[in-house]
Structure 1
Amino acid sequence: MKKIIIFLLTLVLFACQNKLECNPKEFKTGKFEFVQEVNGKKEITTFERTDKLQIETYNGRTDTASVRWVNDYEFILQKLHPRNMAEKKAISMRFISTKGKTYTFEYSFVGESKKQMGTVTKIN
């Protein structure tokens, strides 16, 4: 019993210390850059987001998606002109934390539990 109480107190202390800053309103709109590594190569995606649209450029190809805000921390992206079945799936995005000009987010296809994470930098 004593070990359980000590464990719970330790957990509470660490939870309070590791509280992340999250101010998503600064990142709802603007121009952004997302850098990721694909097969050992650095890939850069740039996009501009308004309240209702996101225009994204990756490898010279530009796509437009609708943006539907669920709340200040979450939104749904739906491609407006999907080229295949995979692109027809909506993507759920959720802000995890913010720091300076960057935010960390998690995303997954709507209805799927497998989530991935990434970090985006606001460039304008």
Structure 2
Amino acid sequence: MIRNLLFGAFFILIWACGPPPERNCSNFKTGKFSFTTTIDGEEKKTIFTRYEDVEVDEFEGKVDSSSIRWINDCEYVLKNIRPKNKEEEKSIHIKILTTAQSSYTFEYNVIGDTRKFKGTAHKVD
């Protein structure tokens, strides 16, 4: 009886866990992407192009550039190249959590701030 319970518990554990999420971060180190977020109840879209060590963002008609420092294949830090104020001087830590064929889900936060946010970026052809 105990043997059957253990076997059943093992089967449920294996079935519930399933395969780990896909995480092919190197597929997203470079390219053009779009990201939509809600700010003050309004959806805002950012288009960004990432190169090996620079990211160029287009947001509401403004273009901004940030340097990229890769921590590993799935984590990097963005630092604004030409900050216009103290807020823009703060670096942003980004961690890719899962990947799909043409998108990835990530977690990000301002370094020094404990609040973390999630988003999904979609590759633009």
TM-score for the superposition, normalised by structure 1: 0.86
Cα displacement (A) at 1:113: 2.3
Find the counterpart in structure 2 of residue 14 from structure 1. Answer: 16
Aligned length: 119
- Which residue number corresponds to residue 64 of structure 1? 65
The 3-state SS of whatever aligns with 2:88 is helix
The within-5 A match list for 1:2-81 is 13-15=15-17, 17=18, 19-81=20-82
> Considering only CA atoms, is the larger Rg found in Structure 1 or Structure 2?
2
Matched, 1:92 2:93: yes
String of CA shifts for 1:28-61, please: whole Å, max 9, x gaps.
0000100112233221100100011000010111
- Return the alpha-carbon distance in structure 2 between the equivalents of residues 56 and 85 of structure 1: 19
Residue 102 of structure 1 corresponds to which residue in structure 2? 103
**Structure 1 residue ranges without an equivalent (≥5):** none
Q: Secondary structure at the match of 1:87?
A: helix
RMSD, matched Cα: 2.0
TM-score using structure 2 length: 0.85
State the 4+ residue runs in structure 1 displaced beyond 3 angstroms: 8-13
Instruction: Quote the residue 1:118 is aligned against.
Output: 119
Q: Give SS of 2:87's match.
A: helix
Structure 2 residue runs of 5 or longer lacking an equivalent are 1-5
Secondary structure at the aligned position of 2:69 is classed as: strand
